[in-house]
Amino acid sequence: MATIDELIDHAAKDRAAVPDLCSELAKGKLVIIASWDSPESHTMTVQDFVRDGVTFIPLFSDLTHFREETKNSGFESRGCEIDRQLMLSILKGNERFVLNPGSKAVQLSPADFLPFRRPFEVGP
């Protein structure tokens, strides 16, 4: 089985490899750049960026990629691990993502994840 880095590499070179990547990404957690208005808040503000006139949300495949790619950016302390299925369940559907934007960036959309989406279940 390919590692997540190998899947990212394949998807960066060939869009036909995106389903295999999204299948793996739909398991576990992703890291996003986010903040809360206050410690008591239940509302998270997800950071987006604009590159070449296009708005996107950076996703990081794991904390290692997040740390490497946000080093000295001012966003180092704003990493938030989020369950991938929870993230998928709250999307509007028009978002654009860039996975690991500081390295072999892969553009993704919510539609790329649809085959792997399942209802989010809150644990005990």
Residues 11-60: tens digit of each pLDDT? 999 999 999 998 888 887 889 999 887 778 778 888 999 988 989 999 99
CA dist 44 and 38 (Å) reads 9
CA dist 41 and 47 (Å) reads 16
- Pick the more confident residue, 46 or 115: 46
- pTM of full prediction above 0.85: no
pLDDT at site 122: 59
Range of weakest confidence among 7-11, 75-79, 85-89: 85-89
Burial class of residue 100, CB neighbours in 10 A (0-12, 13-18, 19+): buried
Instruction: Give Cβ neighbours of residue 124 (< 8 Å, ≥ 6 apart).
Output: none
Per-residue pLDDT tens over the stretch 63-83:
999 999 999 999 999 999 988
pLDDT level of residue 2 (50, 70, 90 thresholds): confident
